Chains A and B, each alone.
Chain A
């Protein structure tokens, strides 16, 4: 079975490592929230939802793209973005019903998840198993009481 990026919001501890990993992988900068293609939304301590591209089968972004700059990658099945083909009409930004295509004004291109070409950095750096790149969702319960401890791992000590 093919590997997929499996999101399990119940396991998310809101450490936001995925956002940092994503922006670092795609822009080489960790402190640029505008370039990250994944975002964690927090509703309460236990309700954190990482949202990223769902790589829809019938993708609206792909449908509206006039030049084929958004196309299906046959290997990862992700909807890949080809910056060279893009004419910046921004139709995809507003066509996506989930809001997962956005225009990056700093780099003047569309920012969209491409599963890092088959090894998503967000899943690699997710400590709690909320994001995994696998065929199966992770097994076993996550202990909610450990969440602050896991989060602390990613917090720099204050000098």
Chain B
């Protein structure tokens, strides 16, 4: 099927979203809550675009492009005055929500917002409630963190504050667009969500690897033996080389 994005005709497959198609064709649509590895949920509202259908070309509406599926004959504007205004509104609110976040601030500057008109949240962290972390944790498997509370009280937290199911993979922290999740990683330990995980060591070279909890979880989920995870990648590579050398001589 074909769509028109900012006056250019693009082809799209069924089931793809406007955001994916537009980005593949080089259009710049900002987003914070979109992550290709997890299901989109239209949380941050930054990827708003203006669409009009062939049946009603005189009428246009704003839709969230990360969850709006491509349709034949759709005409899309990614940066019309209406879109820019809506994005500015969203950014002003985000800047009040997370004034410490450099990513949000820079996006704001890009849209000409130096200072938000809203009252800034007190003692604010960098979290913008985009939910990438909770969705990442869900797709990883443990679903150890969740969004809890309502309105201004909404927080990302393990259920009842205890990260029992956390496996210490740090995927949530590393996928966070604003770097809001605090964690630490040393050769011995990983700390996140109030828990500390001891890291396993390579059997051969003693290099630090994944925590035991993650290994057990991943092995269990994928059906691979935990023995797969006992040696680090560079020792494995050396072992492979040795085996191949033996095989050819």
Q: Tell me the A residues contacting B by CB distance below 8 Å.
A: 7, 9-10, 39, 41, 43, 47, 49, 51, 60, 63-64, 66-69, 82, 84-91, 93-102, 108
Contacts and interface: CB of A to CB of B under 8 A. Distances in A.
A98 B240 contact: yes
Interface in B207-221: 209-210, 214-215, 218, 221
A43 B229 CA distance: 26
Contacts of A41: 237-238, 241-242, 245
B174 interface: yes
A66 B221 CA distance: 10
Contact of B37 (A10, A86, A95): A86
A99 B228 contact: no
Interface string B119-154: 000000000000000001001110000000000000
A6 B154 CA distance: 55
Contacts of B80: none
Interface residues of B, number: 40
A99 B245 CA distance: 16
B36 A97 contact: no
Contacts of A68: 37
Contact of A94 (B228, B237, B239, B245): B228
B231 to A, nearest CB: 8
Contacts of B140: 66, 87, 89
A84 B222 CA distance: 22
Given A10-B248, A87-B139, A87-B171, A95 B218 contact: yes
A94 B210 contact: yes
B76 interface: no
A107 B240 CA distance: 25
A91 B37 contact: no
B38 interface: yes
